[in-house]
Amino acid sequence: MVTTPAIDAHVRLDTHPTHPSAVTAILTGPQAHMPHLGLEAADWHVVAENTLVLARIDHEEPYWAEKAAQQLAADGIAVEITPRLRKAIDEKWTWADYPMSWCTRAEIREVSDEAQKIYDDIRHGRLLIHAHAEDSHTTVAVGTYLDSGKSVHLHGQNHLRQVAGTFDSPAQALVSFERFHGDTMRPGPAPVTDTEHAAAEARISLGAPTAVPEPPSPGPETVPAYAADTGDHDALLDEFLDTHGDWGRWRTWSDDTTHAIHESQTLRIKRVHEAPAHETAWVVAAYETPVSDRTWHLTATGTTPAPVLQELLVHLADGDEWNMAAGTPVDEKTVTAATKPLADAGWKHTVDGRYIRWTSPAGDAAVQFDVFVAQRPNQNLATWTVWAGPNLDGTTWFLTASAHTPSSLLADLSETLAHGIGTRQHSSGTRHKHPHLPTAPPAVTPPVPGTRPGPHR
């Protein structure tokens, strides 16, 4: 029996610090040149001494990194996959609105890999592009393989680029291309796409920001829940989805958004990961049936304190799914039930025209009910608004809810505002100016289960 001799080298595979799907390889050991050669042959790119990057246009780097790890291990090289990369490898996703909907996940990956090979041939100069054109909102091109002399028509961009036709000579290919696309035909290759540009940047350097030492900060202080630190919203969502198997998740590459959907298809969460702090980062929406209009929705900014957001997620997990989806008609009884914890805790009750407010004893948080909107329910208007700060023009965070938001959910949030506590690292927070109430929070677009929207061209 022949065994593969061990190679004195170690490869550490990790996610790229700035590129969302690229993978890095750090090589160490006296024989680090051995895995170096193998990775370069597999189209990994050198960015520093004994440091390589795999950056593709189909966002399949974690999959191919695992394949590389298996090959390296088979060659007798020690390989380490970091937990972050392992999580990316194990993530289940596919493209939303994929034009070849009949393809399996493995078949989609094969199509993407062929697109990657075309892209690499163009990038390395093996495929010379003579001209390109616009065709039905996508890009087409004509080019010639320099080694074989075969000419091709290409259709699509990024992970959808395919060979649409082959020709024996460049002249034949160009004549045919001009006949179909003469009106929009332009010489040379098409402009670089955002995806191609991002991959190129990842191949140049790791681009990790230089760490700037920060002065030591004082220890955390105990504060009311509405004044607590934001915490890690992504970690809260991950924990919620990991512990509740009746919810599924699908994360986009294009806009860095996670969609979570209850198995009933009537409760949905949209989490925008990179939303500016003062803009909507969470949308919760409920539907009476999977195909009906939504019955209520709730939004929250990216600076919403962790205890408040955690209470929201707990209620979504523990609440009766049907009652949650059906919503609650707005009347005096439901308003009283929703705000009872605030009244019991001594929050000041005032009426200002169309607005009824409950303000914290310290005057640094409030819950507002809009009587006018409640009488004319509209899913694009906020009936309830919750905020922390001196007023709506200087909030640290705010949350809105539509007319038929369940009173039980609002009561749980009120309980957290009135009696909940949290921690805050600094005694002063950053406030954001809001000249007016948001009147049209973004709707939750029901994603197709098990899909991921494709990247923009």
Q: What CATH number does residue 29 fall under?
A: 3.30.780
Distances (CA, A) of 443 to 46, 145, 262, 315, 402: 43, 47, 17, 21, 12
Residue 61 has pLDDT above 50, yes or no: yes
Q: Are residues 255 and 333 located together in one domain of the fold?
A: yes
Q: Are residues 277 and 378 located together in one domain of the fold?
A: yes
* pLDDT given for residue 210 in this prediction: 44
Q: Are residues 197 and 228 located together in one domain of the fold?
A: no
Domain that holds residue 382: 222-424
Rounding to the nearest 10 degrees, give the CA dihedral for residues 384, 389, 395, 397. Answer: -70
Binned at pLDDT 50, 70 and 90, residue 349 comes out as very high
* pLDDT given for residue 379 in this prediction: 57
Mean pLDDT value across the chain: 85
Binned at pLDDT 50, 70 and 90, residue 86 comes out as very high
Q: Are residues 45 and 112 located together in one domain of the fold?
A: no
Q: Are residues 359 and 403 located together in one domain of the fold?
A: yes
Assess if residue 429 is contained within a domain: no
- Looking at 149, 174, 202, the residue that finishes a domain is 202
Domains of the chain: total: 3
Q: Are residues 113 and 81 located together in one domain of the fold?
A: no
What average pLDDT does the segment 286-301 reach? 90
* pLDDT given for residue 437 in this prediction: 36
Assess if residue 257 is contained within a domain: yes
Residues 216-238: tens digit of each pLDDT: 556 688 999 999 999 999 999 99
* pLDDT given for residue 252 in this prediction: 67
Assess if residue 4 is contained within a domain: no
Whether the CB-CB separation of 65 and 82 falls below 8 Å is answered with: no
CA–CA dist 303, 44 (Å, integer): 39
Binned at pLDDT 50, 70 and 90, residue 325 comes out as low
Residues 230-277: tens digit of each pLDDT: 999 999 999 999 999 899 988 765 567 899 999 888 999 999 988 887
Assess if residue 3 is contained within a domain: no
Binned at pLDDT 50, 70 and 90, residue 425 comes out as confident
Residue 5 has pLDDT above 60, yes or no: no
Q: Are residues 258 and 152 located together in one domain of the fold?
A: no
Distances (CA, A) of 455 to 94, 193, 249, 257, 306: 12, 10, 18, 12, 31
Phi, psi of 150 (to 5 degrees): -75, 135
Calculate what percentage of the chain has a pLDDT beyond 70. 84
Residue 199 has pLDDT above 80, yes or no: yes
Q: Are residues 110 and 190 located together in one domain of the fold?
A: yes
Residue 118's closest CA among 165, 59, 158?
Answer: 158
Residue 428 has pLDDT above 50, yes or no: no
- Looking at 34, 60, 90, the residue that finishes a domain is 90
Residue 74 has pLDDT above 80, yes or no: yes
Confirm whether pTM is higher than 0.75.
Answer: no
What average pLDDT does the segment 62-75 reach? 94
